[in-house]
Amino acid sequence: MEQFLIEFIVIIAIFFVLKIFWNARLKFWLGNFVIGMNVFACILYLYGFYSNVMPYGDAFSKVLLHSVVAIIIHTLFSLDEKKKIK
């Protein structure tokens, strides 16, 4: 329970710090960081599968999850850019 409370407080602190400093530039860099981390996670899970550390089902379900998250964030950025152009 103590670990949960610490993590919850950290998440709330990050939320308020981002709320203070949020702008288009920070949104761009944070979004690209999240996309990059998801792609990196996909690579690690594939490596885990090919090195026989993870079973097939676990590795590819996690690759699917992280790739979908990266695609969704990229799509939201693309839609936001189209909206700015109009």
| Mean pLDDT to the nearest integer, 50-59 | 90
35 pLDDT exceeds 80? yes
12 pLDDT exceeds 80? yes
- 49 token code pair: 């599968």
CA atoms 81, 82, 85, 86: torsion sign: negative
pTM (2 d.p.): 0.75
Cβ proximity of 32 and 81 under 8 Å: no
Going by pLDDT thresholds of 50, 70 and 90, the confidence category of residue 78 is confident
Cβ proximity of 38 and 69 under 8 Å: yes
